[in-house]
Amino acid sequence: MSKFLDDRFQSLEEYVPGEQPKDTVYTKLNTNESPYPPGPATIKAVCGQKGAEDLRLYSDPDSTALKDAIAKRYEVKRQNVFVSNGSDDILNFAFMAFAQNGAVFPEISYGFYEVFAALHHVKYEKIPLIQGFNINPENYWHKNKLIVIANPNAPTGRTISQKSISDIAMSNPESVVLIDEAYIDFGGSTAAAQTKIYKNLLVVQTFSKSRSLAGARLGFAIGSRELIGDLEKIKYSTNPYNVNRITAAAGVAALSEDDYYQANCKKIMRTREQTVVALEKLGFEVIHSMANFIFVRSEDIDGEELYEKLKEKKILIRHFDNPAIKQYNRITIGTPEEMEILLAAVGELMSAADSGEE
Amino acid sequence: MSKFLDDRFQSLEEYVPGEQPKDTVYTKLNTNESPYPPGPATIKAVCGQKGAEDLRLYSDPDSTALKDAIAKRYEVKRQNVFVSNGSDDILNFAFMAFAQNGAVFPEISYGFYEVFAALHHVKYEKIPLIQGFNINPENYWHKNKLIVIANPNAPTGRTISQKSISDIAMSNPESVVLIDEAYIDFGGSTAAAQTKIYKNLLVVQTFSKSRSLAGARLGFAIGSRELIGDLEKIKYSTNPYNVNRITAAAGVAALSEDDYYQANCKKIMRTREQTVVALEKLGFEVIHSMANFIFVRSEDIDGEELYEKLKEKKILIRHFDNPAIKQYNRITIGTPEEMEILLAAVGELMSAADSGEE
* pLDDT beyond 80 at A231: yes
Chain B residue whose CA is closest to A17: B240
Interface contact flag, B9 A118, Cβ < 8 Å: no
Q: Of B357, B310, B61, give the one whose Cα is nearest residue A18.
A: B61
Instruction: Give me the residues paired with residue B221 across strands.
Output: B82, B204
> Which 8-state DSSP code applies to residue B109?
S
Q: What is the pLDDT of residue B95?
A: 97
Interface contact flag, A16 B234, Cβ < 8 Å: no
Chain A residue whose CA is closest to B34: A56
In this prediction, residue A17 has a pLDDT band, given cuts at 50, 70 and 90, of confident
Cα–chain-centroid distance for residue A218? 12
Q: Give the separation between CA B28 and CA B311, rounded to whole angstroms.
A: 10
Q: Domains plus CATH for chain B?
A: 15-37+259-355 (3.90.1150.10), 40-256 (3.40.640.10)
Compute CA distances A300 → A64, A305, A353, B76, B163, whole Å: 54, 11, 7, 50, 67
Q: What is the pLDDT of residue B357?
A: 52
CB contacts, 8 Å: B169 with chain A: none
Can you tell me whether residue B298 is helix, strand or coil? strand
Q: A151 and A140 in contact (C-beta within 8 Å)?
A: no
- Give the rounded percent of residues in chain A with a pLDDT score beyond 90: 90
Interface contact flag, B242 A217, Cβ < 8 Å: yes
A268 min Cα distance to partner chain B (Å): 14
Can you tell me whether residue A233 is helix, strand or coil? helix
> Which 8-state DSSP code applies to residue B58?
P
Interface contact flag, B43 A20, Cβ < 8 Å: no
Nearest CB to B244 within list A6, A97, A247 = A247
Q: Give the separation between CA B287 and CA B276, rounded to whole angstroms.
A: 9
Interface contact flag, B230 A92, Cβ < 8 Å: no
In this prediction, residue A332 has a pLDDT band, given cuts at 50, 70 and 90, of very high
Which one of B115, B122, B238, B252 would you mutate to disrupt binding with A, by most A Cβ within 10 Å of its Cβ? Answer: B238
CA angle B290, B294, B297 (to 5 degrees): 140
Interface contact flag, B52 A38, Cβ < 8 Å: yes
Q: A296 and A288 in contact (C-beta within 8 Å)?
A: no
Q: For A94-113, what is the mean pLDDT?
A: 96
Chain segment A28-56, per-residue pLDDT in tens? 999 999 999 999 999 999 999 999 999 99
A354 min Cα distance to partner chain B (Å): 36
Query: A220-243 burial, b if ≥16 CB within 10 A, otherwise e?
Result: bbbbbeebbebbbbbbbbbbbbbb
CB contacts, 8 Å: A38 with chain B: 52-53, 55-56
Chain B residue whose CA is closest to A39: B53
Interface contact flag, A233 B5, Cβ < 8 Å: yes
Chain segment A192-201, per-residue pLDDT in tens? 999 999 999 9
Q: How many other CB atoms are there within 10 angstroms of residue A111's CB atom?
A: 15
**Runs of H (alpha helix) within A106-177:** 112-119, 162-171
Instruction: Give me the residues paired with residue A130 across strands.
Output: A134
Q: For A287-301, what is the mean pLDDT?
A: 97
Q: What is the pLDDT of residue B86?
A: 97
Average pLDDT, chain A: 95
Chain B residue whose CA is closest to A23: B60
Compute CA distances A221 → A59, A97, A205, B129, whole Å: 19, 14, 6, 42
Nearest CB to B20 within list A61, A115, A175 = A61
What is the ipTM score, two decimals? Answer: 0.94
**Strand extents, DSSP E, chain A:** 27-28, 81-84, 103-106, 124-127, 146-150, 177-180, 201-206, 219-222, 285-287, 293-297, 315-316, 329-332
Cα–chain-centroid distance for residue A226? 24
Interface contact flag, B33 A208, Cβ < 8 Å: no
Compute CA distances A32 → A8, A36, A293, B187, whole Å: 32, 12, 6, 47
Which one of A1, A3, A4, A234 would you mutate to disrupt binding with B, by most B Cβ within 10 Å of its Cβ? Answer: A4
Q: B202 and B195 in contact (C-beta within 8 Å)?
A: yes
Strands A81-84 and A329-332: unpaired
CB contacts, 8 Å: B268 with chain A: none
Question: Taking the alpha carbons of B154, B158, B161, B162 in that order, is the dihedral positive or negative?
Answer: positive
Compute CA distances B326 → A96, B3, B134, B343, whole Å: 35, 36, 17, 21
Q: Give the separation between CA A206 and CA B157, rounded to whole angstroms.
A: 40
Question: In three state form, how does the secondary structure of A17-52 look?
Answer: CCCCCCCCCCEECCCCCCCCCCCHHHHHHHHCHHHH
Q: Give the separation between CA A291 and CA A297, rounded to whole angstroms.
A: 17
Q: Give the separation between CA B290 and CA B178, rounded to whole angstroms.
A: 19
A14 min Cα distance to partner chain B (Å): 5
**Exposed, middle or buried, B73 (CB in 10 Å: 0-12/13-18/19+)?**
middle
Chain B residue whose CA is closest to A144: B4
- Give the rounded percent of residues in chain A with a pLDDT score beyond 70: 99
Strands B219-222 and B201-206: antiparallel
Q: Give the separation between CA B174 and CA B121, rounded to whole angstroms.
A: 20
Q: What is the pLDDT of residue A358?
A: 45
Q: Give the separation between CA B192 and CA B180, rounded to whole angstroms.
A: 11
* pLDDT beyond 80 at A23: no
CB contacts, 8 Å: A56 with chain B: 33-38, 212-215
Could you list the mean pLDDT of each consecutive 10-residue stretch along chain B, which spans 358 residues?
87 84 83 94 94 94 96 98 97 96 97 95 97 97 97 98 98 97 98 98 98 97 97 95 97 98 98 98 96 97 96 95 94 97 96 69
- The phi and psi torsions of B85 (rounded to 5 degrees) equal -75, 70
Task: Kindly compute the dihedral angle of the four CA atoms of residues A340, A207, B207, B100, in this order, to the nearest 10 degrees.
Answer: -110
A100 min Cα distance to partner chain B (Å): 5
Query: How many beta-carbon pairs under 8 angstroms link A with B?
Result: 301
Q: B127 and B104 in contact (C-beta within 8 Å)?
A: yes
* pLDDT beyond 80 at A314: yes
Q: Give the separation between CA B17 and CA B318, rounded to whole angstroms.
A: 10
Strands A27-28 and A315-316: parallel
Can you tell me whether residue A166 is helix, strand or coil? helix
Instruction: Give me the residues paired with residue B238 across strands.
Output: none
Compute CA distances B142 → B25, B62, B145, B147, B168, whole Å: 49, 35, 9, 10, 8
Q: Which helix (H) or strand (E) holds B124?
A: strand B124-127
Q: What is the pLDDT of residue B24?
A: 65
Interface contact flag, A37 B56, Cβ < 8 Å: yes
Q: Give the separation between CA B306 and CA B287, rounded to whole angstroms.
A: 17
Which one of A22, A29, A57, A78 would you mutate to disrupt binding with B, by most B Cβ within 10 Å of its Cβ? Answer: A57
Can you give the pTM of this predicted structure? 0.95
Interface contact flag, A33 B49, Cβ < 8 Å: no
Least confident of A15-19, A220-224, A237-241, A256-260: A15-19
